[in-house]
Amino acid sequence: MTGSFIINNLAGLLIITSVLTIIVRKISSTIVMYSLQSLVLVMIMFAIGNYFATSELYSWAITAILTKVILVPLIVYLTYRKMKKAKIEGGVIPVPIIVILAALIMLACHFVVQPVELPLVSELKPVLAVSLGHFLIGLMCIISQRNILKQIFGYCLMENGSSLTLALLANRVPKLVEIGVTTDAIFAVVVMCYFARRIYCVLHTLDANKLNTLKG
């Protein structure tokens, strides 16, 4: 198997785990699926580093293990553990529709990247399509889910899509920049989890549809 074949297939697995992160019902299951999804992203980073012979990407991938695979899920879990009574399951869009929309997003992204002429990604256009589609699937998660914690994971999926794009197109940037890319999600998640906790303390719910009671 060639390096590009491995990377392209890992990218396909990334999309599958991303959709599963959205459609699983329980927050605890969502946390596990996101951690698995981030682990697949790390594997792609290692594979891209080997493909382009960029040792910088290895440190990027190791940092992503600590931040995306371990710390972000842990932060959300610790927040969720204090709010287990607020069980908001399901979303505003049925699961079959979410799966269909995800497939349509990926199909559209496939056609969007076809005219792109970059020697760097000539054999990795499926990964480029996945990185673009991954961002949009994360946005779909934010729109389609009622649970605020699920919406936080939507942001995390968007951020992972951006990280994949940078790993593919800017894998030789300085290590300080790489570490910043993989750690920015932690600070955003900490802030969002804090506000989720405050919303729960005031409204005793994590249902985003109930936030209209804050008007006035």
pLDDT digits (tens, 9 = 90+) for 64-106: 899 999 999 999 999 888 776 666 656 788 889 999 999 999 9
- Give the CA diameter of the chain: 61
Three-state secondary-structure class, residue 39? helix
State the average pLDDT for the chain: 85
Count of domains forming the chain: 1
What pTM value is reported for the model?
0.89
Which of 33-37, 56-60, 150-154 shows the lowest per-residue confidence on average (mean pLDDT)? 56-60
- As beta bridge partners, residue 147 has 207
Domain that holds residue 151: 3-214
Do residues 42 and 64 lie in contact, with contact meaning Cβ atoms separated by under 8 Å? yes
pLDDT class for 120, splitting at 50, 70, 90? Answer: low
DSSP structural state of residue 118 = -
Instruction: Please list, in sequence order, all residues whose beta carbon lies within 8 angstroms of the beta carbon of residue 205, skipping any fewer than 6 positions away.
Output: 86, 88, 199
Count of CB atoms situated within 10 Å of the CB of 153: 27
| Cα atoms in the 13 Å half-sphere on the side-chain side of 101 | 19
pLDDT class for 17, splitting at 50, 70, 90? Answer: very high
Instruction: Please list, in sequence order, all residues whose beta carbon lies within 8 angstroms of the beta carbon of residue 74, skipping any fewer than 6 positions away.
Output: none
